[in-house]
Structure 1
Amino acid sequence: MTVQDHTHLRPWRAIDRRPSRKIRVGNVEVGGDAPITVQSMTNTLTADAAATIDQIRQLEEAGADIVRVSCPDEDSTKAFSTIVKGSKVPLVADIHFHYKRGIEAAKAGAACLRINPGNIGSPDRVREVIQAARDHGCSMRIGVNAGSLEPHLLEKYGEPCPAAMVESALDHARILQ
């Protein structure tokens, strides 16, 4: 056993990772052979830039590599550029329901956009968010949850379930590709 082998003390650190493509969220590598990153999320009102920046600093001090910030409304995305300037770690803009918030967050300096395409609307609107991400150098993350499943999937599966969410995520990944 080598000095660096701590798995006998901390077996949860012995992680077999499936092969994946490495991406960047700002200056942080995620996936592939990159170290596992710690991500957390603020719970302040994003429109309150000072409170959100303070909470991001606390998360940075606690070891967060990436911080997710909710952008549910126009006031939040207006504050986002100030928040980006006050952060040392890359920020993921968590977009809710309106595709324009994704476009605004990309322009404001988000390192990554987290969208739930089922909540954003038509594929054309999703494509507009994709274009904004490309234009501003943002990576993107797809989020799916039971509350955003498309009606045809609810009909097919009868209720929200893991298989329906996987199918939804894969459908949206195809749109993003």
Structure 2
Amino acid sequence: MKILPVCSKNARVVLSAVVFYILGLTWESALAAPTEAIITNGVTNPVQVRDVTGVGVRPYQHQASIGDSSTCAPQCRLTFPAVPAGQRLVITYVSAQLDATSSPVLEGADETLFLIRTGPGTNISLPVTFYFEPGDVPVIRVFQQNSAARTSLIGLLVGHLVPVQ
């Protein structure tokens, strides 16, 4: 009586191993089987090819500056070109040279992004993700606490333009 359950258990194990082996061979052969592509287009009718991963994506990098912050204090605006029609601007990096006491924000449409210094000094360099729609005008607004300072303010926006779907 004990031999029958043991045999049936061993038989199940062997049968399972055989099934997995056969399935494995079938899967490997399906992956390894080359597929043939027949192209019938000739010289007068060429095959149309295009890169769909980067269609319409254009790099964006613009700088704006104010030579003397005392001319615009207490709020100075570094204004960048308007986003072209049919495009969305995706800002991925912001860099700026400011006065040590100033506080900058990136503004666009109805959104505001506070640009926080990561260390002491007058420079800001941050990775960000911020979107501007067609017609929006990107602005870095600098709140200049020391209106007597004659600081040169420089802002740089880096990102890319993508077609609006």
What TM-score range do you get, normalising by the shorter chain? Answer: under 0.3
More strand by share: 2
More helix by share: 1
Q: Rg larger in 1 or in 2? A: 2
The normalised TM-score by structure 2 is 0.23
The normalised TM-score by structure 1 is 0.22
